[in-house]
Every structure is written in structure tokens, then in C-alpha cells.
Amino acid sequence: MTDWRTQLEVDGFTLLPGVLSPAEVAAALAEWDAVSAANASDPAILVNDGPAYGARNLLQMWPSVIALARLPARCGPLLDALGPTAGVVRGLFFDKPPGHTWALPWHKDYSIAVAEHRGGSVLTKPTTKAGVPHVLASPELIRSMLTARIHLDDATVENGALRVIPGSHAHYEMGRDEPRDPVTVCCRAGDVLLMRPLLTHSSGHSAPGANRHRRIVHLECAPSPALPGGYEWHTFCPIGDSPC
């Protein structure tokens, strides 16, 4: 059986089952419900003619979410993959509420959140998302990063589980990906999916009549507080015991 380190290196993703207990999942959902209610008018809460389907700026809106990265079953693999100075640098929340599904086409993740926009060509295409400056990471930087997707619900074909192209993290541009069959990553609540940002992935609509949420805490992690070109992370929360 392939171990998680080998699968992450070869395929660009690996699933860590049962990282959160049912009680920890329930506690995280209760926290999120309170956070989203308290911040309902914040533009970082993503709404489109229905209930919230996601959120940006999770590290600011929900500071205690960093505890999910520091659980021993997650902290160990993250530090193993990224090194002892690793930290969480951006947090997002995704949901596909019953009756309000959505989909994303095939893509890779390039954007990072920074403290401010600066001149130069190291990090490019400055934008602002929910008040936070973002840029596109260089190939070297984005290859060093790792995303952890913490599942708070079962993710199945019925409710729009993630689809990935194994091995596609080897290339910065989608057009250079090797032809591989896509894989649907079905997860149970409490499972954690580790994936490289350059892994080509998509997300399909929930099936008609699907009556389950698909809530995911998405934490992007980097190996170091350092950034090139005089840039600084917007937020850097060490995965170890240090405070943000």
C-alpha cells in the first residue's frame, strides 16, 4: 500500500482519513455557524441569491480555525511535508447548500494573499479580494506550498466532491498536463485532503435533489514566513504552537 508521502509526491494529493472525530466535526460546524451569523454582512461571506456558499479571509474572521491545523494527526503530516517553520497563510470556506449548488471548471490555484501590493515582476497580476491584496505566486513559490481541505461533511459524487488529475501538479500551466483520467475524491466528514496547489482540479454541481451540505475548511500552507521581492504574507500562522 502506498504511503501518504509517496502518493503526495507522485499524484499531488493524498487523503488522511478520520483526522477529526465526530465530536470535533460537530464543534467546528457550531463555531462556523456562530462566525458566519456574526459576520453575515461582511463581503468576505459569499452569497448569491441564497444561503452562504463560502467565505474568504477565514483566518481573520475565525481566528480559532488555526486549531484545526494544529491537531496532532494533521500537524505532523503538514510539518513533515513543509518543514518546521511552516504556517497557514490563507483560509477559505466552501459549501454547496442543498438547493443552491455550484461548480468550478478545471483549474490550478495560483493566488496568494499578501500584506500589500508592491512593484516588480516576482509576484504578478495584483488584485484585491474582499479587501485583501492578492497576487499570483511564482512557479517556485507555489510548488513549495500545500493545501489542506478539512471535510466537515461527507463529500460524494452526489454532492459535488472534488475531481483531480493525478500528477498534474508537475506543471505550472494546465496545457502541459499529461493526459490522465480524472479521479473523484470522495471523503467522509473528518477526513483531510492534502493537495498541491498546482494539482489540476474541478468541482461539479450536486446532483438534482441532493439534500446534504458539502462544507470544507480550506487552509493554504507555506514552508516559511519569507516571500521574495520584499513581499509579506497577509497572515502567517505557524502550524506549531506559536500564536499568529
For 138-176, letters b (16+ CB in 10 Å) and e give: beebbebbbbbbbbbbbbbebbbbbbbbbbbbeebeeee
Cell 466552501 sits on residue: 94
Nearest to residue 51, comparing CAs of 98, 10, 111?
Answer: 98
- CATH 2.60.120.620 assigned to 4-37+54-238: yes
Q: Identify the pLDDT of residue 1.
A: 57
- Asked whether residue 187 carries a pLDDT value surpassing 60, the answer given is yes
Map out the domains of the chain as residue ranges: 4-37+54-238
Number of CB atoms found within 10 A of residue 98's CB: 15
The CA distance from 120 to 118, in Å, is: 7
Share above pLDDT 70 across residues of the chain, in percent, rounded to a whole number: 98
The CA distance from 34 to 133, in Å, is: 26
Residues 112-130: what's their mean pLDDT?
93
Number of CB atoms found within 10 A of residue 208's CB: 8
**8 A C-beta contact, residue 122 and residue 114:** no
175 is written with which cell numbers?
Answer: 496545457
Nearest to residue 37, comparing CAs of 18, 52, 19, 16?
Answer: 52
What are the tens digits of pLDDT across the range 142-153? 999 999 999 999
Q: How confident is the model at residue 38 (pLDDT cuts 50, 70, 90)?
A: very high
What are the tens digits of pLDDT across the range 59-84? 999 999 999 998 877 788 999 999 99
- Asked whether residue 214 carries a pLDDT value surpassing 70, the answer given is yes
Q: Identify the pLDDT of residue 122.
A: 86
**8 A C-beta contact, residue 99 and residue 209:** no
Residues 128-149: what's their mean pLDDT?
97
